[in-house]
Amino acid sequence: METRRIDPVNCSVARALSVVGERWSLLIVREALDGAHRFGEFHTRLGIAKNLLANRLDTLVTAGVLRRVPYREPGDRRRYAYELTDQGHALRPTLIALLEWGDTYLADPQGPSVVVRHRPADDTNPCDAPVRVVLECAAGHGHLASHDVRRTPGPGAITASDAGAS
């Protein structure tokens, strides 16, 4: 039995990459997750050209990953800080997964440059153990290997043959 191919235009991965698939976009999100809020902070931390940074921030705001929050320093004009939305915070596991992949296949011989650790927000019960991303099915079978999962058409799927017919 032949598997019907899902139309690549109707793909959530492609849609996500249209927002965060450019190199600087995820690095901006990384810095925002690490506490950067202002244009100058992003510029200093990343060393990105100002025009490119402005463009990427606009893209992330338009997509709903960041929101602009006005502020004004005494005697200065109004400026904007950038805050992650829920959508932006939801990218943390993606960044951790990329970090894990990079640490496994591209790290320096000395080891990883960053270790993500569990730090509860209330800090009443500090853990500090390293964090990792785990594949788990909805039935609770955790720690799945990559070869244990497959893509199947979802309720919004358009197959390649359906797309050609329209």
Number of domains in the chain: 1
- The rounded distance, in Å, linking the Cα atoms of 103 and 108 is 8
32 contacts 65 by C-beta, under 8 angstroms = no
Q: What is the pLDDT of residue 3?
A: 55
Task: Work out the pLDDT band at 1, boundaries 50, 70, 90.
Answer: very low
Q: How many CB atoms lie within 10 A of CB 47?
A: 8
Whether residue 9 is contained in a domain is answered as: yes
Whether residue 54 is contained in a domain is answered as: yes
Whether residue 44 is contained in a domain is answered as: yes
Predicted TM-score of the model (pTM): 0.84
Q: Is residue 9 over pLDDT 90? A: no
Whether residue 3 is contained in a domain is answered as: yes
Segment 58-84, tens digit of pLDDT: 999 999 999 999 998 888 899 999 999
The closest alpha carbon to 61, from 38, 36, 40, 88, belongs to 88
Interval 24-45 mean pLDDT: 97
More confident residue, 69 or 162: 69
Whether residue 134 is contained in a domain is answered as: no
Q: What is the pLDDT of residue 126?
A: 75
Whether residue 151 is contained in a domain is answered as: no
More confident residue, 157 or 91: 91
More confident residue, 127 or 103: 103
Segment 125-161, tens digit of pLDDT: 778 899 999 889 999 887 888 899 888 878 888 876 6
Range of the domain at 68: 1-88
Mean pLDDT of the residues in the chain: 89
Whether residue 94 is contained in a domain is answered as: no
Q: Measure the CA angle with vertex 20, ends 118 and 12; round to 5°.
A: 95
Whether residue 164 is contained in a domain is answered as: no
CATH code, domain with 52: 1.10.10.10
Q: What is the pLDDT of residue 162?
A: 62
